[in-house]
Amino acid sequence: MASIQILPHRTAAPSSVDWGRWWVQVGELSRKPADELVTNWDYSTPITFQLQPAIDEAHFLTSTGLPALRVCDVVVTAECLSTGRRFLAQQNLATLAGTSEKLVQVSPPPSELAGDLKLRAHIVLVENMLSSGDRVATRFGARLATLSPTTVSLEGSGARFPTEAVSFASLGLEAALWTLRVDASEPDEPFTSVVRLFINTDHPASSALIDRHEISGPLLVSALETDVIRQIFEEAHSMKDIFVDRLTWSEGSFGETLENLGYTFFDRPFTEISGLMETDRPAFERILQDRSRLFREIR
């Protein structure tokens, strides 16, 4: 049975808000509808999610009992289910209604994203109002309209890491499913220039790894992600002296991405993770498996 949420105040009539659909812009590419799988994205490419709600002002104000659109904001959030990070943007409803684009957008930092994103949108009251009776909302933050959540995946045909699908046999490599090239010796270089993942197209499991819709695909991706993160930290750990006393890194660099990975998967900076690898390697492995959600897709 479907549940019905009953709020203590009046809300906007559904017909007074046309939410439209979510759009996504990856890098410099033209925007497109935000489908279940977001393509052409990698770990360092900017990404923006957009919504263009249309408001019937008279109908909205009549149904809510509010005096003007200016007392409301549209709030959009992108919640990363893998990293637990939540990103928010908001736009005043009167300002939004007065523009030709009617656009509200949220741009999460790409280095802090992984896996799935849940997109949400609400219209909320942004002023405390004097009570006028008739169940009109008066408290700051009261929700007046809500769009059903949308979940999109960043791990489909686009890769978190720069990726190439090649025949390992043609390169004279062993018949592994994947191999990772990491060079941590120049941490100020762009992440995409010092890290590259190669997937062996000769391997019978390569198609399942590339196409997550196959039954075994999510499990293979889970193992791949955990192994890639492990190898990046191992490579950086082997050159740990380079990272000592560095507090800032250039945007999109290997060093910045390494620090972001550290806080995403271990809640600590790389120098502390490096120490953990030396003093308690089993704990490092347990935390990594837990936070990377290894094999959580098994049913």
**pLDDT on residue 99:** 80
Convert the pLDDT of each residue in 125-160 to its tens digit: 999 988 777 889 999 999 999 999 999 987 544 445
Contact (Cβ atoms closer than 8 angstroms) between residue 136 and residue 9: yes
- For every residue of the chain, which 3-state class applies, written as one string? CCCCCCCCCCCCCHHHEECCCCEEEECCCCCEECCCECCCCCCCCCEEEEECCEECHHHHHHHHCCCCHHHEEEEEEEEECCCCCEEEEEEEHHHHHCCCCCCEEECCCHHHCCCEEEEEEEEEECCCCCCCCCCCCCCCCCEEEEEEEEEEECCCCCCCCCEEEECCHHHCCCCCCEEEEECCCCCCCEHHHHEEEEEECCCCCHHHHHCCCCCCHHHHHHHHHHHHHHHHHHHHHHCHHHHCCCCCCCCCEHHHHHHHHHHHHHCCCHHHHHHHHHHCHHHHHHHHHHHCCCCCCCC
User: How far, in Å, CA of 169 to CA of 192, rounded?
Assistant: 25
The alpha carbons of the chain give a radius of gyration, in whole angstroms, of 23
Q: Is residue 158 part of a domain?
A: no
Say which CATH number the domain at 91 has: 2.60.40
Inside any domain, residue 37: yes
pLDDT tens per residue, range 213-260: 555 667 888 888 899 999 999 999 999 999 888 878 888 889 999 998
164 phi, psi to nearest 5 deg: -130, 135
**Mean pLDDT across the chain:** 86
Alpha carbons within 13 angstroms on the beta-carbon side of residue 151 total 8
Please state, in angstroms and rounded to a whole number, the distance separating the CA atoms of residues 210 and 217. Answer: 7
pLDDT on residue 161? 60
Q: Residue 298 domain-assigned? A: no
Alpha-carbon 176 to chain mean position: 30
**Per-residue pLDDT at 269:** 92
Together in a domain, 74 and 120: yes
Last residue of a domain, one of 90, 119, 153: 153
Number of domains present in the structure of the chain: 2
Task: Report whether pLDDT(1) > 60.
Answer: no
Q: Is the pLDDT of residue 166 over 80?
A: yes
pLDDT tier at 111, thresholds 50, 70, 90: low
In this prediction, what percent of the chain has a pLDDT beyond 70?
89
| Domain-embedded: residue 206 | yes
Average pLDDT (8-35) is 90
Same domain, 117 and 148: yes
Task: Work out the average pLDDT over 101-129.
Answer: 87
Residues 71 and 110 in one domain: yes
Query: Does 296 map to a domain?
Result: no
Name the residue range of residue 246's domain. 163-291
Lowest mean pLDDT among 11-15, 62-66, 115-119, 283-287: 115-119
